[in-house]
Structure 1
Amino acid sequence: MTWAPCAASRWAMASPMPRDAPLTRAVLPERSNKGSGTEGSTWACELRTAWYAPESSTGPVEAWHTPGERSMAQRRVLITGAGSGLGQALAMRYARAGDRVACVDIDAARAELTRAALPGSGHLTMAANVASDEAMEQVHETVAREWGGLDVLVNNAGMATGGAMVETTMAEWRTVLDVNVLSVVRGCRLFLPGMIAAGRGHVVNTASFAGLAGAPSIMSYGVSKAAVVALSEQLRAEVHDKGIRVSVLCPAFFRTNLLESWQGNPKLKDFAAKMMDTSPDTLDSVADHVFAALERGEFLVLPTKREPMRWRLKRWLPETYFRQLLKMVKSRAAGH
Structure 2
Amino acid sequence: MSGASAIVTGGGSGIGAALSAALVRSGAHVVVADIDLEAATRVADEIAEMSGSGSARAARLDVTDAGAVAALVDEVVADRGGLDLMFANAGITWGGDTELLTLAQWDAIVDVNIRGVVHCVHAAYPHMIGRGSGSLVLTASMGGLCPAGLITSYAMTKHAVVGLGLSLRAEAAGHGVGVTVVCPAAVDTAILDKGQLDGFDGRHFYLTGQHVRQPLDPDRLAKSVLDGVARNRALVVEPARARATWRLQRLSPALMDRMLTRYVGAVRRRRGGGPAGA
Kept in 1, the 8 Å contact 2:141–2:158? The answer is yes
Tell me the distance in 2 between the aligned counterparts of 1:129 and 1:161: 19
Q: Contact conserved, 1:280 with 1:305, CA < 8 A, in 2? A: no
Work out the CA distance in 1 between the residues paired with 2:196 and 2:206.
17
Q: Which has the higher contact order (CA 8 A, sep 6+)?
A: 1
Instruction: Show structure 1 runs of 5+ residues with no match.
Output: 1-47, 49-72
Opposite residue 167 of structure 1, the aligned amino acid is L
Find the partner of 2:222 among 284, 287, 290.
287
Partner of 2:23: 94
1:125 to 58, 79, 85: 58
Letter in 2 for 1:154: F
Q: Give yes or no for contact 1:131–1:183 (8 Å, CA) kept in 2.
A: yes
Correspondences of 1:254-333 after superposition (within 5 Å): 254-258=187-191, 262-268=194-200, 270-272=201-203, 275=206, 278-279=213-214, 281-333=216-268
- Say if 1:123 and 1:215 are closer, same or farther in 2 by CA, change over 3 A: closer
Q: In structure 2, do the counterparts of structure 1 residues 183 and 274 end up closer, same or farther at CA, with 3 Å as the change threshold?
A: closer
The aligned counterpart of 2:6 is 77
The yes-or-no answer on 1:166 pairing with 2:95 is: no
- Normalised to the residue count of structure 2, the TM-score between the two structures is 0.87
Structure 1 counterpart of 2:148:
215
Q: Which runs of 5+ in 2 are unaligned?
A: 272-278
Shift of 1:280: 5.1
More helix by share: 2
Residue 269 of structure 2 is matched in structure 1 by 334
Pair 1:106 & 2:35 matched? yes
Superposed CA offset, 1:263-300 (max 9, x none): 351311x3425746952522232222222222222111
| Structure 2 CA distance for aligned equivalents of residues 105 and 306 of structure 1 | 30
CA-to-partner distance for each residue in 1:75-127, whole Å, 9 max, x for gaps? 11111111111111111111111111111111112212222233435433211
Deviations for 1:228-273, whole angstroms, at most 9, x for unmatched residues? Answer: 111111111121211111011111113222366x2351311x3425
Whether the 8 Å contact between 1:152 and 1:202 is mirrored in structure 2 is yes
Where 2:187 maps in the other structure, the secondary structure is coil
Distance change (3 Å), C-alpha of 1:101 and 1:290:
same
The separation in 2 between residues aligned to 1:126 and 1:189, in whole angstroms, is 19
8 A contact 2:141–2:185 mirrored in 1: yes
Q: What CA distance in whole angstroms lies between the structure 1 residues aligned with 2:127 and 2:229? A: 20
8 Å CA contact retained: 2:25, 2:53: yes
Aligned partners of 1:256 and 1:276 also within 8 Å: no
User: Partner residue of 1:141?
Assistant: 74
Percent pairwise identity: 32
CA distance in 2 between counterparts of 1:221 and 1:274 reads 13
1:150 aligns with 2:79: no
TM-score, normalised by the number of residues in structure 1: 0.73
Tell me the CA shift for residue 218 of structure 1: 1.1
- Matched-pair contact (CA < 8 Å) for 2:6–2:83: yes
Query: 1:325, CA displacement in angstroms?
Result: 2.1
Runs of 4+ deviating beyond 6 Å: none
1:152-208 CA distance string (max 9 Å, x none): 110000111123332222211211111111111111111111100111111000011
Relative distance call for 1:279 and 1:328 in structure 2 (3 A) is same
